Homo-oligomer: A and B are copies of this chain.
Amino acid sequence: MTERINHQWRLTSRPNGDLTEANFNWTETPVPALQDGEVLLRSLYLSLDPANRGWVREGGSYRDEIALGAVMEGGAIGIVEESKHPKFAVGDHVQTMIGWQEFLVSDGKGVTKLPVMPGLPLTAYLGLFGHIGLTAYFGLLDICNPKPGETLVVSAAAGAVGSLVGQIGKLKGCHVVGIAGSDDKCKWIVDELGFDAAINYKTEKIQDGLRRTCPKGIDIYFENVGGEILDAVLARLNLHARISVCGMISQYNASKPVPGPYNIINLISKRAKMEGFLVTDYMPRAQEAMQDLGAWFQQGKLKYRVDVVEGLKNTPAALSKLFDGSNQGKLIIKVS
């Protein structure tokens, strides 16, 4: 049998600013022969996420930094190509951290077999039924406890997480306002997803937009971006407001420290809370979310969009779409 060649993107330097193709090397190595207890996975779909940026930062973020010279990490859907592992058979679909490469030899730890769900595309496991869906679900419901009639503001509202947060907010009876960076995105979240209003922060001053769309103030803010938008939201909080801090993408590529929000003192006068979370903490409760998300999806109440880029070779270039705002939905690399 022909020797398999594994193409890989390896991290070669830590960025001072944007993470780009210049920080990676495209390498190839032969796939080693399987030992007993091992399984060979071929990557099908690779997930690209804003959090990836933190993983390459010196000192790491919520996890250890990725070492220089190592294959860049990333969650993926794969298929079992060969197996000397009792739990996996050729053809099984699995999910694990395959990384930015075509093949992974694994001892099976941390590899999850995907259930067969008719009519559900494989990419859904990187999105609605993956960490994206759980992030939106628990970040909104567990941290913020939305009540009917409350005003919910979501930033990066056309993004993978934000678009779900807004729809779940509508299902819970909130007045939902999304902030996004183009008229197309704003149109999509209002016309297709049912948000009550949208603000294009590139063409309207965010303070004006919030005044226009949140006449009753803001009860809940789902934070994906940080920076000026957070500050403007803090200035319009209602009493007992809740801010769920999911991400601060505006800061991930910053080469020097970014000042925090000027209006943070408003947390006192508004008796408001700001709470960070990581979806990994909610894994033991994943079933809860799956049931609700699955039911809403089947009832046609949750819409979901993926942005699939073809080819592992294009991965570093595609990553920038997350930070310049040009992706439309959950960003996924079709590896093979």
Contact = CB atoms under 8 A, between A and B. Distances in A.
A270 B259 CA distance: 19
Given A260-B259, A262-B260, A267 B275 contact: yes
B268 A246 contact: yes
A66 to B, nearest CB: 15
Interface stretch (A92-100, A163-171, A205-213, A276-284): A276-284
Contact of A267 (B263, B265, B276): B276
Interface residues of A, number: 33
A226 interface: yes
Interface in A234-271: 245-248, 251, 257-271
A233 to B, nearest CB: 13
A142 B61 CA distance: 29
Contact of A262 (B259, B262, B265): B259
A272 interface: yes
Given A259-B259, A260-B259, A251 B265 contact: yes
Contact of A269 (B260, B263, B274, B278): B278
A218 to B, nearest CB: 15
A274 B251 CA distance: 19
Nearest to A237: B276
Interface in A152-195: none
Contact of A276 (B61, B262, B272, B278): B272
A216 interface: no
A33 to B, nearest CB: 39
A235 to B, nearest CB: 11
A273 interface: yes
Interface of A: 54, 61-62, 226, 231, 245-248, 251, 257-278, 281
Given A260-B260, A272-B276, 8 more contacts: A226-B264, A245-B267, A257-B262, A260-B261, A264-B274, A268-B278, A272-B275, A273-B275
